Structure 1
Amino acid sequence: MHIIAYVMRRKPGLSQEEFFKLYAEHGQVMAMAARGLLRYEQYPLRIAESRGDVYSTGLPEYDALSVYIFETAEDAEYTSRLNEVIVDSERFIDFATMITLPVNKRTVV
């Protein structure tokens, strides 16, 4: 199992609403094109409204977190080079500021 997390910002000039729409649509592209993709979770930013939310009072620095779980590292590498994945991602992600985190899963509770 190969897990990668991405913390991303929207492209300059794109509204958060437009970003969220394109981000949701990206799930369809990944589901159709990715090789060995076992799970893809999207975590778009939400407004902290209730008690218990720990957040900055300033503007958020990032717009979303994505977690991809592939069968193998080779599947992740193959998928990252697919033209349809690249073209779709470039519509909404600011790659210059994106953070890539190769992670391991550890279930605590």
Structure 2
Amino acid sequence: MSQASANAFGSNSPLIFMDVNTMHTIAYVMRRKPGLTQEEFFTLYLEHGQVMAALARGLLSYEQFPLRHADSLGDIYSIPGEAPYDAISIYTYATAEDANYTSLLPGVITDSEKFIDFETMIAMPVQKRTVV
């Protein structure tokens, strides 16, 4: 494959393998902005992925975990009534500097403010540990 050919991720940039010791992973537990329905939140949350893909620097992965309606699936872990949070997002950046840079981008801030209740959001720097 030539240098100008697209790699498996659709980019013409060469693939670079990162040292796991320099990667920076952050988990966010979030609630929707007051006044939004859960459906509206989920739509804006999904669309946020496109914003991050276009603007983020050094973003290696972005995983979204919207709350599922467990009781409709017969899941024993369903939460009675309104759930305290609506989603978990996990971002992995090449470096902490990339994460900080991206978090200050006006486009990322503006889009995030459309759907996230920042007063109740929990942010945790985490390390991935695969057990099974």
| TM-score for the superposition, normalised by structure 2 | 0.79
How many residues align? The count is: 109
1:13 counterpart = 2:40? no
| Amino acid in the other structure paired with 2:122 | I
Residue 47 (structure 1) aligns with = 69
The within-5 A match list for 1:1-109 is 1-48=23-70, 49-109=72-132
Higher relative contact order (CA 8 A, sep 6+): 1
TM-superposed deviation, 1:51: 4.7
The CA distance in 1 between the partners of 2:80 and 2:124, in whole Å, is: 25
Structure 2 vs 1, CA of residues 51 and 14 (structure 1 numbering), >3 Å: closer, same or farther? closer
**Deviation digits for residues 61-87 of structure 1, max 9, x if unmatched?**
000000000000000000000000000
Stretches of structure 1 lacking an aligned partner (at least 5 in a row) = none
**Deviation digits for residues 29-51 of structure 1, max 9, x if unmatched?**
00000000000000001111345
TM-superposed deviation, 1:59: 1.6
SS in 2 for 1:69: strand
| Amino acid in the other structure paired with 2:51 | V
| Amino acid in the other structure paired with 2:108 | V
SS in 2 for 1:76: helix
SS in 1 for 2:29: strand
| TM-score for the superposition, normalised by structure 1 | 0.96
Stretches of structure 2 lacking an aligned partner (at least 5 in a row) = 1-22
| Amino acid in the other structure paired with 1:102 | P
Query: For the aligned residues, what is the CA RMSD?
Result: 1.0
**Which consecutive aligned stretches of 4+ in structure 1 deviate over 4 angstroms post-superposition?**
none
Q: Tell me whether 53-62 or 26-35 shows the greater mean CA deviation.
A: 53-62
SS in 2 for 1:22: helix
| Amino acid in the other structure paired with 1:96 | E
